[in-house]
Amino acid sequence: MIVIDTANHISALAAKMARARVIAAYPITPQTTVVEKLAEYVESGELDAEFIRVESEHSAMTACIAAEAMGVRTFTATASHGLLLMHEMLHWAGLARLPIVMVNVNRAIGPGWNIWSDANDSMAQRDTGWLHFYCSSNQEVYDSIIMAYKIAESQEVMLPAMICYDGFILSHTSMPVEVPEQSKIDEFLPEFKPAWKIDVENPITHGNIVEPHYYAQIRYDMQVAMERAKKIIEEVGEEWGKKFGRDYGLVQEYKCEDADYVILTMASMAAEAKVAVDELRNKGEKVGLVNLRTHRPMPFERLKYDKIIVIERAVSFGLGGIVYNELKGRVPELYGFIAGIGGMDVSYRDIERMYELAKEGKDGWYPIEVK
């Protein structure tokens, strides 16, 4: 079935079809319509789930943690300041190894007040032990949410997952999305089997004081699980491809085989970059595109190119581009552009321009300061 709807409504539909049983969320622009749609599903009886209304995003994440610890599949969605308010509990979900799935609609952080797209909200959560996925279309949003449950709930992973997409550019834009039948989704995504749960029949205590050597092992185990997740992400993406005809993996490559330069970007900028690559190819430029779908775990193995041009919508002050700096030292020739901050439009023409600038040996804040 083809559904034409916004990424926010598609997110709600995906959470419903993944059969999330507890939803705790707080509305925030530009995510609000995700929560509204889910509330509607629960109210109408279309979705058999407990909808917990909370007074803040910190409480939303806490409610999801508590429900997930009871062995129940959960869902929440947030954006920007809401995500930042969750920060403490994001660490908690990671360390407790609870495979919660959350949508984050990327939005700039104030002040000045800005509701447009900017990835600094989710980039600032990259060390919380969550799997981070970025989507470049509404179809990818749907597919990624369902796949995220399977990846996060894998016994080899057991880590929470965050699905990110650009505010307004995707969140409020209707696009056609192919939605499989519920029975096919149920076949793909079986019932959640928790690794541990709070159960009165078999009492345990979770989160008690642990000595340093054991705490260090818990942390190390998360790093190992992140590494294992790379394999699971590829496997689940391949299985999705076989079942539904759209292949996924850690990254998506476009015209990279013979490329001299590879443009690496994420989220909606990757869709725009595809147009730029086609335009540049028409002019005879040997250029390809890597859409970095997965930011945590960081798929270094899939980024073995000689010349990479990173274009990203976030910055680490005092360091520079985040993905750019993560790749520094691993790529022989690396260029980094910070672009689209605070929702500044990045068209395929801008991406073509950045490519030309990189060929001249220049990079930096586009278009503010490039040298």
Partner 1 sequence: MKTAISYPTEGAMGKTGTWRVFRPSIDIGKCIKCWRCWIFCPDAAISKGEYPVIDYEYCKGCGICANECPVNAIEMGREEK
Binds partner 1 by CB under 8 A, chosen from 16, 97, 230, 313: 97
CA 265 to chain CA mean position, Å: 13
3 phi, psi to nearest 5 deg: -115, 135
217 binds partner 1 (CB under 8 A): yes
Task: Supply the minimum distance, in Å, between the C-beta of residue 211 and partner 1.
Answer: 11
CA proximity to 128, closest of 342, 299, 295, 318? 295
Angle between helices 212-244 and 80-95 (to 10 degrees): 110
92-100, 108-116, 177-185, 313-321 -> range binding partner 1 (CB under 8 A): 92-100
108-116, 214-222, 269-277, 302-310 -> range binding partner 1 (CB under 8 A): 214-222
Q: How many residues does the chain have?
A: 371
Other Cβ atoms within 10 Å of 316 Cβ, number: 15
Give the x-and-dash track for 253-292 against partner 1 (CB under 8 A). Answer: ----------------------------------------
Structure tokens at 69: 């610890």
Binds partner 1 by CB under 8 A, chosen from 1, 183, 201, 205: 205
What is the rounded end-to-end Cα distance, in angstroms, of the chain? 49
CB of 56 or CB of 223, closer to partner 1: 223
Q: How many residues bind partner 1 (CB under 8 A)?
A: 19
365 binds partner 1 (CB under 8 A): no
> Beta 252-254 vs 287-291: how paired, if at all?
antiparallel
199-207, 243-251, 296-304, 328-336 -> range binding partner 1 (CB under 8 A): 199-207
Q: Could you give the C-alpha distances from 259 to 29, 138, 247, 253, 285, in angstroms and in order?
A: 39, 28, 21, 11, 8
96 binds partner 1 (CB under 8 A): yes
195 binds partner 1 (CB under 8 A): yes
CB of 197 or CB of 362, closer to partner 1: 197
93 phi, psi to nearest 5 deg: -60, -40
Binds partner 1 by CB under 8 A, chosen from 70, 218, 319, 368: 218
Q: Could you give the C-alpha distances from 89 to 58, 60, 78, 97, 98, in angstroms and in order?
A: 7, 9, 13, 12, 11
Window 141-160: residues binding partner 1 (CB under 8 A): 155, 158
168-176, 200-208, 249-257, 343-351 -> range binding partner 1 (CB under 8 A): 200-208
Window 223-252: residues binding partner 1 (CB under 8 A): 225
Residue pointed to by tokens 């005809």: 245
Other Cβ atoms within 10 Å of 338 Cβ, number: 22
204 binds partner 1 (CB under 8 A): yes
CA proximity to 289, closest of 324, 313, 256? 256
In one letter, which amino acid is 322? I
Residues of the shown chain interacting with partner 1 in the complex, contacts defined by CB under 8 A: 95-97, 155, 158, 195-196, 203-208, 210, 214, 217-218, 221, 225
